[in-house]
Chains A and B, each alone.
Chain A
Amino acid sequence: MTTDYTPMELMICAASGMLEDGRTVVVGTGAPCAATMLAQKTTAPNLTLFFEAGGVGSRLPEMPISVGDSRTFYQGLMAASMADIMETCQRGMIDYTFLGGAQIDAYGNLNSTIIGEYPAPQVRLPGSGGANDLGSLCWRTLVLTLHDRRRFVSKLDFVTTPGYLTGPGARESFGLPEDTGPYKVITNLAVLGFDERTRQMQIESLHPGVSLDEVRDHTGFELRIPESIETTPDPSSQQLEILRHQVDPLRYIIGRSG
């Protein structure tokens, strides 16, 4: 055991541990890709990676810069189309996806479109990209994000991607696939999940050395607090070794703050 790691390394290791072997995952660039590569090299060697522009089963030689670049199907199983990947999600064959955003609310809804008010925002952000599709169609959505009041807000400026929308049954009432939605939110402070009954965000584990008050102070909405809160396990020395030397040797991701 070691405590010599950064918050970003902890986030990646925690996310990696949530991916069950033998499953399928659509990933983006950055930390989600690092988490998935780490899982493949440790606990989930039979995890199949998909990239939304068409890459399937790449033996990633390095971190992709774009989810459409040639690394995303390097020594891959298939180089397909965007529709083929999204339709694989739509017919129920993709278990996990990773998303992020500028804002997240208590139901796990995400904003990546604007800051301010539509149609004349203060800041125009990229928009949905594939996020709305992936968050609608994959079985379990994981969110990796830094934890602060600017991001964890009570009301989004724009609902780009559906979490649980307004609560239990809301996704289904809009015709989104059943039993889908946000699964875990992994931040630099804690791992959060969603209460089965209310579909609101709750704390599952605090990272080592982080207090409950600290998490509350960094969250712009009321978090549900279950009776018992665990401590997020430290990354194992094996995880850190592989992450630092095989997954991200140039420290593109783990060199970032957070």
Chain B
Amino acid sequence: MSKSTESGKGPLFTDPDCERARQTFRDKPRVMVEKVMTVQEAVTRFVADGDYLASGGFGADRISTAALHEIVRQRKQDLGFAGHTTTHDFQILCAGNQTGRGKLLSRVDAAYIVGLEARGLSAHARRVSESGEVVFCEWSNYTLAARFQAAAMGVPFLPVRTLAGTDTFEFSAARTVECPFTFKRLTAVPALWPDVSVIHVHESDVYGNCRINGNSVADVALARASKKLIITCERLIPNDEIRRHPTQTMIPFFCVDAVCEVPFGSYPGNMPYEYFSDEDHLQQWLESEKELDQHMAFLSRYVFETSTFSEYLELCGGIPRMQDLRRREWLIE
């Protein structure tokens, strides 16, 4: 049972100093220029070994599958990762551990990992998480969202009323603070500025002004908190269209470093109003993980040895399959 401690003993993987974050953002380019490039180029340029990475969306909903595959393909090493309900996205990154390709993940802020919600647990994500080669710090979904929010606000922490009294607090890097007004006990969570994030959106212009349809999860704050940001989008739209409905812009160009047009880019995840998740493919993936040899063969076929995301889509059934999933999203029998 938890003790009455004032400080969680989990590791703090990122610097909570807002002054140093400001210095980073001072140097971030903010001129409105075209940033369209391939996913391969974006990952080469903006994801470095040792970076702390965050993934947008919600596990298998509106995730940047193309960017995640590319990070695995390029054998990025020693990454940190923020896991607020990360399911298939975490599962993809785990392909870079325990598969003879070094150690892609080395430290993880965990709120929800290794599971795929109602679909069950990922055997390979468990293999990686139980191997001892990844260091964890425990959080909850809200506290990770609050950490992005603090970072987006440019302050070092935010107070919340969760985590307290539990082992989740004990093994987090949160601290308790006294409210200066009511003198009551609160949980302080440190700002989290990821080095780089990958977010999949519905529409973007060539400069990175983005629209998201449906739930935004934590991405409005995450985009603002990220030192570098790779956007993948279902489609590019003209800047004139952005200017016609500025209320719909959820991520502004000055947060964005790369814009990659990737139709069906959340596949096999769900993309609201576009296509439903491919439950058959997700089940195949889960099934393949049970034996490591079999899983490595699966990953070779679908990730390691494909060169582009379109190639992956083709392997998964191409346009006819995407049409099925589009009808499924729209509940057309």
Contact = CB atoms under 8 A, between A and B. Distances in A.
Contacts of B221: 81, 83
Nearest to A55: B215
Contacts of B331: 61-62
A258 B265 CA distance: 38
Contacts of B316: none
Interface string B123-153: 0001001101001101111110110010000
B216 interface: yes
Interface in B288-309: none
Contacts, number: 206
Interface stretch (A37-45, A68-76, A195-203, A242-250): A68-76
B217 interface: yes
A161 B4 CA distance: 15
B145 A83 contact: yes
Is the contact region of chain B dominated by helix, strand, or loop, or is it mixed?
loop
A124 B114 contact: yes
A130 B186 contact: no
B26 to A, nearest CB: 27
Contacts of B60: 66, 69
B20 interface: no
A127 B129 CA distance: 12
B114 A126 contact: yes
Main secondary structure, interface of A, reads loop
Contacts of B135: 119
B155 to A, nearest CB: 15
A206 interface: no
A133 B129 CA distance: 23
A29 B117 contact: yes
A120 B132 contact: yes
B178 to A, nearest CB: 9
B311 to A, nearest CB: 26
B152 to A, nearest CB: 10
Nearest to B88: A66
A219 to B, nearest CB: 19
Contacts of B167: 113, 118, 158-160
A54 B167 CA distance: 26
A127 to B, nearest CB: 5
A70 B110 contact: no
A165 B2 contact: yes
A31 to B, nearest CB: 10
A66 B272 contact: no
Contact of B185 (A109, A161, A175): A175
A171 B61 CA distance: 34
B90 to A, nearest CB: 10
A130 B165 contact: no
15 contacts: A53-B85, A69-B270, A79-B214, A80-B216, A81-B217, A86-B142, A118-B167, A125-B114, A128-B138, A130-B142, A137-B162, A159-B2, A159-B167, A175-B176, A175-B184
